[in-house]
Amino acid sequence: MRSKPLRWLVCGAAMAAAGAAADTMLQPFAAAGGAPAAPWKVVGLPHQTKPFTRFSVVDLDGHRALRVEAESSYGNLFHPLHQAVASGHLAWQWRVEEPIAQADLHERQGDDTALKVCVLWDMAIEHVPFLERQLLRAARDRSDVEIPAATVCYVWDSHLAPGTHIDSPFTRRLRYLVLRSGADPLHRWLPERRDIAADFAALFGSESPELPPLVGIAVGADADNTHSHSVAHVADLSLEP
C-alpha cells in the first residue's frame, strides 16, 4: 500500500492542480441526476488502481444533495478557492446513511471516514515543524504543483466524541475535528456552521501565527483501510461572512 503521508500530500497536489483556474466563490454541486459540475472535480492518487469514492447529485428530503458512497475506495470531490482573506464561516447540512463501524482514526488500519468536509490552507512552509518540512519539501520537489501544508477535516465519526481533534495517524499536515458521532441520528439532516479561522487557530495556531489563504474545499469519504462500505450526503455547502 502507498505510504499515506505521501498519499495525502500527492492528493493535495492533485487538488492544487485542479485549482489552476480557481473560483473565488463556492459553487453549487450541480443539477440532480448527474455528476457534480465544474469547478468541482474528483481527485485521487496518481495512477490510482483502487476504486474511487463515488459522487452524484440527488434530491433528498427537500435538499439538492451530494451523495457520497465509499466501497473499499478512496477519493475526494474538490473545489478550488484562491482567497487571500480566509476568514468566515463554512456552513452545510449533512447526514450519514451507512457509517463505518470499523473506523478508528487513531490507527492507520482504521483511518477511514464515512463523511468529511475539509478546508485546505496555503500555510507558509517555514511554519511547518522541521522534520515535516523536509517531507513536505521532498514531496513538492517530486510534484509540478504546490502542495498545501495544512488541512482541517470536519468528520462524522462512528466512535469519537464531538469536539475531539486528532492528527491523522499518517501525517500531521492533516488534522481531524469530529463534529458528529455514533450518538447522532442516522438518516436525518443535521446543520453545521464553522468559524474556519477559529478552527485553523485551534488546530494549527501553534505552528502559524497568521491565517493563511485558502486553497480549496473538499468533500470526501474513504473505506480503503477498513475495506468497508459507507453512504452519506452533504447539502447547502456555502462560505459565509
Domain range annotation of the chain = 4-240
Segment 21-47 shows an average pLDDT of: 82
Check residue 134 and give its pLDDT.
81
Phi then psi dihedrals of residue 14, to 5 deg: -65, -40
User: What pLDDT sits at residue 10?
Assistant: 46
C-alpha cell of 135?
Answer: 517531507
Q: Quick check: 23 pLDDT over 90?
A: no
Convert the pLDDT of each residue in 98-134 to its tens digit: 999 999 999 999 999 999 999 999 887 888 777 787 8
Confidence class for position 1, pLDDT limits 50, 70, 90: very low
Mean pLDDT of 78-84: 86
Structural domain 4-240, CATH architecture: Sandwich (2.60)
Alpha carbon 199 to its chain's center:
14
User: In the prediction, which pLDDT does 5 show?
Assistant: 46
Q: What is the value of pTM for the model shown? A: 0.88
Give the Å distances, CA to CA, from 87 to 44, 124, 200, 204.
28, 17, 10, 15
Q: What is the pLDDT of residues 46-75, one digit of tens each?
A: 678 999 999 999 999 999 999 999 999 999
Q: Which helix (H) or strand (E) holds 203?
A: helix 196-204
Strands (E), 34-88: 41-43, 54-60, 63-71, 76-83
Q: How far apart are CA 15 and CA 18, in angstroms?
A: 5
Predicted confidence band at 4 (pLDDT cuts at 50, 70, 90)? very low
- Residue carrying C-alpha cell 487513531: 106
